[in-house]
Structure 1
Amino acid sequence: MAAVQLLLLLLLCWEAALCRAFTFVKLYHKKPAEPVDSVPDCWFLQKLDHFNGADSRNWMQRFFVNDSFMQPGGPVFLMIGGEGPANPAWMKYGSWLTFAEKLGALCLMLEHRFYGLSHPTKDMSVENLRYLSSRQALADIAHFQTVMTKQLKLGDRKWVVFGGSYPGSLAAWYRLKYPHLAYAAVASSAPVNAVVNFPEYLEVVQNSLARNHSACPKAMKLASDSILELLQYKENYKKLTEDFRLCKLLQLQSDMDISFFLDSIAEYMMDIVQYNNDNREFEGVKGGNVTIQVVCDIMDNESLGAPYDQFVVVIQTILNALGQKCIDAQYKNFVQEMRDDSWEGPASQGGRQWVYQTCTEFGFFQSTDSDSQPFSGFPLSYHIQQCSDIYGSAFNLSTVTDAVQQTNEYYGGFGIKSSRIIFPNGLIDPWHALGINSNLSSDCFAIQMEDAAHCADMYPERPGEPSVLPMARNFIFQLLTKWLQS
């Protein structure tokens, strides 16, 4: 890298005299992992409101740099941050770095506004959260790219954006909305079609559970039905508390209490399916040894008792793997934590922010409103009520429905029209139901990955991974090489 460019980067990364690193957290209730050494925080002066020219307020946005592969004339790779603290481990691991090494790319990662240490406002009040949106986030990227290109004298280098899950959608949408800035995009496991009600998520969970154990979903459903029966009588609350290792004695005073308990238990299984047999250890994630196969082997073990007893063993096995002592299944506690709008609050790692985005842009509510799935008790109305309970009565089914419609009108949903975008999707992953699963054009490709989970193509290679992943990564590399040479 040229000396002047290196000096500028060093100044950006050290001016703030901070060198902190936090893990990327997909679900707000998971604990951060140990920090990654020797990846300094860098800071960028960002605009608060890109759509109001009279608003001159700024804030400091965090980003990370890996310039070890940069070659003269090489591209710039930008990893887009998402709904949690940006994890600097991605500056050391991941398939995008393999591509970067071969293509001589400068690698940058930009943390999403309102997540991690990127705090645009003094707190996360509802008034301030109006500056949290995918559109503002895309404008952040555009401003960042424009200024960095000038400051680092990057000239006409081609920028390729990467992202997985919601950041995958951002990658596709950045290429769509800023084609003069983004030359190409890799949008892994990207749910580009917003929906209010997303019962298909649990339908895919059922199909994924049945892949190697056809009887597994039925056993899971029988266990779920047994839980519903036990919930009808208060004398069973102590048993449910002990069996599922709840942090406090189960107290159910409303339908929301019941739904939150059922949702809390089911989410552990949803997480197992979504990230089945992945390679996220480098992010500090625990529990990867509990897979669909492990779960369904337990649900097939008649020596453990009835399906309910088998499911109890499943949940306890997951908790042990995660190192989690108990489950907080009290809706009142959840709402109280989510209402805390301070940057030090218990949901500040991403929970308050992401649920706000689902209530104001995307929906994505994973309900049990389908007969073709194994769980019960958390319908769409439960999710909509959360929006109202946390952010105020103005957030209701009508406003969420309008917001989701606006999102699809703005980005195109399944009908996105663009070029030079790659959409990898693992077919085990429930989110693939909202992604692009067939080619959109001669240079807008879908990659369907059998036996692969959420964002699996992004993780480093490892022995024993699904055989489709090396082929998918190679296809992505070949396409990027072709496009960058044209």
Structure 2
Amino acid sequence: ETSQSCYETVRKSWDEIRKVASRPNGLSMLSKKFRTCKPLKKTSELEDFLDSLYTDVAQYDDPPTYPLSIVCGGIDGAPTGIDVLGKIFKGVVAYKGNRSCYDMDEYIRPTETNVGWRWQTCSEMVMPIGHGHKDTMFPPAPFDLNRFTKDCEGTFGVKPKPHWVTTYYGGRDLKLILHRFGSNIIFSNGLRDPYSTGGVLGNISDSVVAISTVNGSHCLDILPESKSDPQWLVMQRKAEIKIIEEWIAKYQNDLLEFKEETHA
């Protein structure tokens, strides 16, 4: 959480969007306020864009810029007297830059990543992620398996298997399963990534280990190195490489011993 005031502004904004939209020419007013590239046809176009922007900057809150702080800095730094939606737009501009217009379809255009991820969640890893009633800064949107199933069947022609992961991997008691059957796994988590709350954050055995970084974000350690990488990220990668090198060395030694025994 970067800022309580930023959180509260975002939380209040959804009702404001719908309130403005309910007025005569409300969608036109919203289109003008958020400088959309095309006139809004429904509020969900703006809501989905903002929802995706917030989740994107939270998940990939990478150093050195930390985009979540940029968005909240724009929202909290808005001039005194500006309304809630004006503050939200300031956050968009702070992150996206001062553009002539903002594309509401930016986050839903088909890419290899988002289409592939959607296929995987439909065919293998059903992830029942939703928003409860007033327990987040987002409007209520509980996970609906029936609706999710219809979407998957309509898009890919596959029926989701919501229990496949726990059946295949034994996820009902993941630590016990990994302690008994797992080996040579590094669970790496950047704690700025919201997904880390569901991650393995402690060592399970000598070869199933957890490495976490307070200021890390989603998959940051497996991205190409950069001159701007902070020292803690450099050290994290070195630690992971050292662990993997030890696994390989042990495997090679075990293989050599096995060959010597079989040829003795």
Question: TM-score, normalised on structure 2?
Answer: 0.76
Closer, same or farther: CA 324–424 of 1 in aligned 2, 3 Å: farther
Equivalent positions of 1:164-313 (< 5 A) are: 207=1, 210=2, 213-252=3-42, 258-259=43-44, 261-278=46-63, 291-303=67-79, 305-313=82-90
Closer, same or farther: CA 308–323 of 1 in aligned 2, 3 Å: closer
Closer, same or farther: CA 229–436 of 1 in aligned 2, 3 Å: same
Does the aligned pair in 1 maintain the 2:125–2:162 contact within 8 Å?
yes
Q: SS of 1:364's equivalent?
A: coil
Q: Which structure is higher in helix share?
A: 2
Closer, same or farther: CA 350–230 of 1 in aligned 2, 3 Å: same
Amino acid at match of 1:430: P
Does the aligned pair in 2 maintain the 1:259–1:378 contact within 8 Å?
no
Q: Deviations over 1:412-444 (max 9, x none)?
A: 336152111111100111222332221121211
Q: Match of 2:260?
A: none
RMSD: 3.3
Q: Which structure is higher in strand share?
A: 1
Closer, same or farther: CA 272–324 of 1 in aligned 2, 3 Å: farther
2:167 to 370, 390, 409: 409
1:392 to 154, 157, 173: 154
Q: Deviations over 1:28-53 (max 9, x none)?
A: xxxxxxxxxxxxxxxxxxxxxxxxxx
Equivalent positions of 1:61-460 (< 5 A) are: 207=1, 210=2, 213-252=3-42, 258-259=43-44, 261-278=46-63, 291-303=67-79, 305-320=82-97, 325-328=102-105, 347=110, 349-369=112-132, 371-376=134-139, 378-381=141-144, 385=147, 387-389=149-151, 391-392=153-154, 400=160, 403-413=161-171, 415=174, 416-417=177-178, 418-460=182-224
Q: Deviations over 1:111-155 (max 9, x none)?
A: xxxxxxxxxxxxxxxxxxxxxxxxxxxxxxxxxxxxxxxxxxxxx
Counterpart CA distance in 2 for 1:302 and 1:244 is 15
Aligned pair count reads 242
Q: Match of 1:477?
A: 241
Q: Match of 1:92?
A: none
Query: Which residues of structure 2 form unaligned runs of 5+?
Result: 251-264
Counterpart CA distance in 2 for 1:423 and 1:324 is 41
Query: Which residues of structure 1 form unaligned runs of 5+?
Result: 1-206, 253-257, 280-288, 335-345
Closer, same or farther: CA 367–233 of 1 in aligned 2, 3 Å: farther
Closer, same or farther: CA 438–361 of 1 in aligned 2, 3 Å: same
Does the aligned pair in 1 maintain the 2:35–2:100 contact within 8 Å?
no
Closer, same or farther: CA 246–470 of 1 in aligned 2, 3 Å: same
